[in-house]
Structure 1
Amino acid sequence: MAQPAARTGPGPRRAQDIFAATFALLTELGYDGLTVEGVAARSGVNKTTIYRWWPSKDALLGAALIDSRLFELTVPDTGTLRDDLHALLDQMRKLLTGEEAGAVVAAVLSAATHRAELAEVTRSFFLDRLGRELPLFERARRRGEIRAGLDPKTVIDLLAGALWVRVLLRGEAAPAGFVRETVDLVLRGVAA
């Protein structure tokens, strides 16, 4: 007997349309105004199709955060940890100061403080990001650039945290010089 075909999700272009509609509605209407029905209408995809792939709006929002092109980051490989972190943090800076991504981040973080499922979605997003960033530290360790036992998560928290506080909490600019200064300051403490 033939096995049923595995669910593979919507095609990449269709998924990006759904994610774009999700983010647009989130920033226009807030988390409470975001509905799967609204996403279906905005993206031109039937709501039952959306529910087939994502059982709730939080699941949809989580997939959008992790898989949307809006939050794409290229993990650099420049040959040095310092330059890798400069490039990575500069990408984060551009995302957070970009009108669309900054608005989405602010809306998600605001809503996540009151909704357990959405808080789990944001944790998954940050764990996914950390997993993508770990190779920078593995390469740096092999090159002898960082001391043994260094926790990469702490370094990323220090760097990204400084940027997030500056941009999202204080509402201040984060010029490229801020990125370089922050990376250099943190690396002085983690060098081998």
Structure 2
Amino acid sequence: MAPRKQQEIFDATLRLVAEKGYDGLTVEGVAERSGVNKTTIYRWWPSKAALLGAALVEADLLEFEPPDTGSLRGDLVALVEGIRRLLTEPPARDIAVAALGAAVRHPELDARRFFADRFARERQVFERAVRRGELKRSVDPMLVIDLLAGAVWVRAVFRGLPLTDDFANQAVSAVLGGVAT
């Protein structure tokens, strides 16, 4: 499949899940919105869960590149800011909340792939920090990411509170106070 057409399918998938939720997402709807036949979609993805899982990881709409600011603190602040944008700015906010929220109720929607892909990219932030002597080798990078991302999720999604301009700095300071060398 041509990369451009694949991105159109992913875009249609993510926008539909944002508008209608996982239960309202259909392969027929994606096919109609992206201008392809539904058999084309089923040829590449056997179910709507597989399609949404691929779209979460591969769509340009949710593109993610780990920051490289030259410092652990700067990289973590940039990561938290990226998570903040993902969870507070449309259309990413609606996509993330609908798709990842649906993963709790629908085990066939394997959101672990989304998180594994993100974490594989985020890991290099920690590897660079260890090489620079900014971080103990014994620190669990996934725990740090979980603490920071969890803070954004709880504040923005579950509590529905606004994130201040200084939220990323405050969250990173709270976490680094216990792990910085």
TM-score (norm 1): 0.90
Indicate which of 179, 182, 191 corresponds to 2:168. 179
- Structure 2 equivalent of residue 156 of structure 1: 145
1:14 is matched by which residue type in structure 2? K
Separation in 2 of the partners of 1:175 and 1:103? 20
1:123 is matched by which residue type in structure 2? R
1:73 is matched by which residue type in structure 2? F
Seq. identity, %:
57
Do residues 143 (structure 1) and 132 (structure 2) align?
yes
Where in structure 2 are there 5+ consecutive unaligned residues? none
- Structure 1 equivalent of residue 21 of structure 2: 30
The Cα shift of 1:174 comes to 1.3
1:74 is matched by which residue type in structure 2? E
8 A contact 2:19–2:94 mirrored in 1: no
- Structure 2 equivalent of residue 99 of structure 1: 90
Which structure has the bigger radius of gyration?
1
Instruction: Provide the alpha-carbon RMSD of the alignment.
Output: 1.2
SS in structure 1 of the partner of residue 14 of structure 2: helix
8 A contact 1:74–1:88 mirrored in 2: no
Q: Which one scores higher on RCO, CA 8 angstroms, separation ≥ 6?
A: 2
Where in structure 1 are there 5+ consecutive unaligned residues? 1-9
8 A contact 2:85–2:93 mirrored in 1: no
TM-score (norm 2): 0.95
- Structure 2 equivalent of residue 127 of structure 1: 116
- Structure 1 equivalent of residue 102 of structure 2: 111
